[in-house]
A and B are shown apart, each in its own frame.
Chain A
């Protein structure tokens, strides 16, 4: 089983229920937007996924700082897990955004500042995963990963503020002076529940993945020890 303790089991179950509740609100509670029609309802999970993607990269950067200060590998496991999950949610935001864009903008993709910076952000963190694969020493890998996660985080505010500072067709929801998309309370409530649901889901996934990352590391060390023992036996023979 993937559940190693009671709290994690509880958190996972809560995440499942919240995602289900959020989806039910999307289907039955949120009204259909007048101009865009039902496809606008993709917005609730699209925004939540984009938000969690950025939160995950923030967690990775914070864990990077903590690792460099305390030299405890657990922070590296959390940072790595946060980046992997952050990329998952960034991919969800990108693909759902493309599906929403097709009937509204009449194109799957456009090199708009928000879409471009989001792609740069995603490739920055794909680079993080590739870099880690190339380093065998766990401490060296953690050190490189931490520095990369901290520097790579620069791409996150760039993405967040791109639609506020540059000319873009992408609507701005948070912190916009004028509402780009007219929203009524039921829409805000559905969005809030979706964001909470995705945040709890992120916490549960991060916990699961960090535990697995720790186990991967233990096995890596065990494997290396076994190889040394086998090599010693060959030399003795």
Chain B
């Protein structure tokens, strides 16, 4: 691997982890919305 490819990999990992966490928050939000709907229907 060249010096440039380590640089590119470094930033891919940084933005990849940030993106994955934001995706996790969006998925969590969707799950909570769904659960809230189900629970309010049950009640």
Which of B17, B21, B28 contacts A212, CB < 8 Å?
A: B28
Contact pattern, A 26-47, Cβ under 8 Å of B = 1, otherwise 0: 0000000000111101100110
Q: How many residues of A contact B (CB 8 A)?
A: 33
Least distance between A110 CB and chain B CB atoms (Å): 17
Contact A215 B7 (CB under 8 A): no
B3-A37 in contact (CB<8A): yes
User: Cβ of A168: which chain B residues have Cβ within 8 Å of it?
Assistant: none
A42 and B7 contacting across the interface, CB-CB below 8 Å? yes
Q: Is the CB of A215 within 8 A of B26?
A: no
Give the shortest distance, in Å, between B18 (CB) and chain A (any CB).
7
Chain B interface size, as a band, is 20 to 34
Does A91 reach chain B (CB closer than 8 Å)? yes
Given A42-B11, A45-B14, A88-B17, verify A100-B6 contact (CB < 8 Å): yes
Can you spell out 27 A-B residue pairs with CB atoms less than 8 angstroms apart?
A: A2-B25, A36-B3, A37-B3, A39-B6, A39-B10, A42-B7, A42-B11, A91-B17, A92-B13, A92-B14, A95-B13, A95-B14, A95-B17, A96-B10, A96-B14, A99-B10, A205-B21, A209-B25, A212-B25, A212-B29, A216-B28, A219-B32, A219-B35, A219-B36, A222-B36, A226-B42, A226-B43
Binding site for A on B (CB under 8 A): 1, 3-4, 6-7, 9-11, 13-14, 17-18, 21-22, 25-26, 28-29, 32, 35-36, 39, 42-43
